[in-house]
Amino acid sequence: MDIPPFTVTLKNPDIPVRIRQYPISLEGRMGLKPEIDRLVSKGLLESCMSPFNTPILPVKKPDGTYRLVHDLREINKRTVARFPVVANPYTLLSNLGPNNCWYSVIDLKDAFWACPLAEGSRDYFAFEWEDPETHRRQQLRWTVLPQGFTESRNLFGQALEQILQDYKTRPGVTLVQYVDDLLLAGEREDDVRKESIKLLNFLGLKGLKVSKAKLQFVEEKVKYLGHYLSKGEKRIDPERVKEVTSLQNPAQFLYGEPDEKELAHNCMTTIEEQTKIRPDLEEEELETGERLFVDGSSRVTEGKRVSGYAIIGGPELEVIESGPLNKTWSAQACELYAVLRALERLKDKEGTIYTDSKYAFGVVHTFGKIWEERGLMNSQGKDLIHQELIKRVLIALRKPKKIAVVHLRGHQRGIDFRSRGNNAADQEAKKAALMIIRQKEKGGPMTESLDEEKAEYRFTKTEEQKLSQMRICKDQDGKWKLSDGREVLPKAIALEILHRIHEKTHWGTQAIVDQFGIKYMCIGIHNLAKQIVAGCTTCLQVNKASFRKQPLGGRPLAQRPFANIQVDFTELPKVGRVKYLLVIIDHLTHYVEAFPTTRATTQAVVKVLLENIFPRYGAPETIDSDRGPHFVSKILNETMESLGIKWEHHTPWHPQSSRRVERMNGEIKKTVN
């Protein structure tokens, strides 16, 4: 076609696409040779040396000839695509009138090859070709839009539409175009015939060819874009309908070969049998039996992690069971343990367990069975994190007579029974996590209890007098009790309990006092807690001690000039070999000495001091400087020590220590510049 060549834009064109050619059989290369020779002779392919290369492959046609297919997938990924301006095939046929009775369908042959490609874009479409007869290897590239390129349809469609703007149809005939498929429709046969001949000649003059095998010339019934058109009507091609209606029944995959009997749609039943621990396990609540709400909690309180669980049940939503858990347990482990305890309580009973944990719900209903069949290992062949808990849950799940585990959405504000039960379990689990715990066994918790065998339950006379003054009375068992029910303990027993709390948590004084005060009270409890924390070796090693801030230091007053001096190097614009200046200031008189040096090294410092300062002013008592490598070397320290001179270094990150010499450095630079 007589149109401007198309330009193709790639992302990152400086990085060429280089894919080696697939191995092609001799038969395939022999089949492609006539086609490639024809394309080269017509100028559609040309020799080149391109940095790009993509493979080709031969595709055998039904008639025995071969089609050239160019694999341009990688080029398509890198192409900056234009916006597709293509007609909608689903609404395109609505332009046809209801009185059309005669049609012609024209399918353009090798339409894309009629569009020239710009010289700068041809290297993108190069491929390697080995002649099967001469065995010569070379690179060929397309000079036209290649088939398989993502932009070819859009570019050709716009080019053809632009050409057809100059074509005018006669009255009563409609022209419809979709990429390279053209349709002429009209009411009279003679008009459609004349218009078809006129259009074919027009396309030929523009350099386009028509497929004679696919040409439908002046017919009452034609096939266009998957539809049959006849006498103003259109209907879908029956072959397209057959493809959809002949799809295999999904249920057939479970049975293999088709059977004359109607297939049973029991896919969900089969899946449940494969994934459920027990066939009667329900996801909805049972009409009979107990109803238990469970929850677990693991959170950080006062800088320490606490964990617990709770089981709520009954019409009044009472606490059936709760307690603390190991502080290292995660929230998922706590929730799983709560489900475990509820299952154990429902042994040989009927009941429903409500949980807001997706993890615990999934273990019970879905992946627990899968993990059990894998030997409680994950997909990487490693043990599960909560292996022991999951194992106990799966065992306990088989014990109830009838069981349902229901998932609820957590933290709902409703007043219905489910929301109130779930919220009550959540609050109780948080409270239980704050209880004092003692790990009785690996799987479960146990609260602290008094050990009267280790500590004698006896108060001193002074303590009893204070208790009487506080109007605290004894109960029937002879124990001192507060009005809120907490028990008052002697110091010996309180000290034992405080030790247990601190050994497990290493909390501070106030934290263990608060924990102790949940159930007990003792006179002088703060002093006891402070004594325990102060004597803990672990806390002393880990916790940062608070010390009183030390006052800033100073320098002793000098008795003579250059008794105390301050030194530093400063860098100046290079003159010849000299680049640095060693600045020396006397603390008493603020007199300045400056010496140019070629390098800022320890040798330069020692040389200036020994040859210029000490002979003129005598050996100083102290010299101070920053911690630069030229002032902290072993050579300098040993030299000054042998002369009886004390060299002091400034505090790191405290520039005020070097303020005199640093200020002088600034003045020198300002003067020099």
Q: What is the pLDDT of residue 493?
A: 85
Q: What is the pLDDT of residue 443?
A: 39
| % of residues, the chain, pLDDT over 70 | 90
How far apart, in whole angstroms, are the C-alpha atoms of residue 211 and residue 222?
16
pLDDT band at 584 (very low <50, low <70, confident <90, very high): very high
Q: 3-state secondary structure string, 208-257? A: CEECCCCCEEEECEEEECCEEEECCEEEECHHHHHHHHCCCCHHHHHCCC
pLDDT digits (tens, 9 = 90+) for 387-420: 888 989 999 999 999 999 999 988 888 888 889 9
Q: With a cut of 50, say whether residue 583 has pLDDT above it.
A: yes
Mean pLDDT of 491-507: 85
Q: With a cut of 80, say whether residue 456 has pLDDT above it.
A: no
Q: With a cut of 60, say whether residue 231 has pLDDT above it.
A: yes
Contact 296, 386 (CB under 8 A): no
How far apart, in whole angstroms, are the C-alpha atoms of residue 18 and residue 611?
71
Q: What is the pLDDT of residue 607?
A: 93
Q: With a cut of 60, say whether residue 498 has pLDDT above it.
A: yes
Task: Specify the CATH class of 448-542 in words.
Answer: mainly alpha
CB count in 10 Å sphere of residue 415: 7
| 94 or 256: which leads in pLDDT | 94
**What are the CA-CA distances from residue 613 to residues 564, 610, 646 (Å)?**
12, 6, 16
Q: What is the pLDDT of residue 606?
A: 94
Q: What is the pLDDT of residue 484?
A: 76
Structure tokens at 149: 């390129």
The yes/no answer on whether domain 273-438 falls in CATH 3.50.50.60 is: no
Architecture of domain 564-672: 2-Layer Sandwich (3.30)
Q: What is the pLDDT of residue 480?
A: 79
Q: What is the pLDDT of residue 439?
A: 37
pLDDT band at 32 (very low <50, low <70, confident <90, very high): very high
Q: With a cut of 50, say whether residue 2 has pLDDT above it.
A: yes
| % of residues, the chain, pLDDT over 90 | 37
CB count in 10 Å sphere of residue 527: 11
**Average pLDDT taken over every residue of the chain:** 84
Domain 26-229: which CATH number of 3.90.1150.10, 3.30.70.270, 3.30.70.3270, 3.40.50.720: 3.30.70.270
Q: What is the pLDDT of residue 273?
A: 65
Q: What is the pLDDT of residue 551?
A: 61
| 377 or 299: which leads in pLDDT | 299
CB count in 10 Å sphere of residue 173: 21
Domain ranges of the chain: 26-229, 273-438, 448-542, 564-672
Q: What is the pLDDT of residue 448?
A: 42
How far apart, in whole angstroms, are the C-alpha atoms of residue 256 and residue 645?
99
pLDDT band at 204 (very low <50, low <70, confident <90, very high): confident
H helix intervals, 447-591: 461-469, 491-505, 509-516, 525-534, 537-542
pLDDT digits (tens, 9 = 90+) for 588-626: 999 999 999 999 999 999 999 999 999 999 999 999 999
How far apart, in whole angstroms, are the C-alpha atoms of residue 71 and residue 55?
6
How far apart, in whole angstroms, are the C-alpha atoms of residue 304 and residue 298?
10
Q: What is the pLDDT of residue 295?
A: 94
Mean pLDDT of 239-250: 69
Q: Residue 173 belongs to what H/E stretch?
A: strand 173-178
pLDDT band at 435 (very low <50, low <70, confident <90, very high): confident
Fold identical between 26-229 and 564-672?
no
Q: With a cut of 80, say whether residue 203 has pLDDT above it.
A: yes
Structure tokens at 592: 């300045």
- Which range has the worst mean pLDDT, 3-17, 341-355, 395-409, 527-541? 527-541
- CA angle at residue 440 from 439 to 445, to 5 degrees? 60
pLDDT digits (tens, 9 = 90+) for 532-562: 888 887 887 777 655 555 566 667 788 889 9
Q: What is the pLDDT of residue 349?
A: 92
pLDDT band at 451 (very low <50, low <70, confident <90, very high): very low
Helix axes 358-365, 331-345, angle to 10 degrees: 50
Q: What is the pLDDT of residue 502?
A: 87
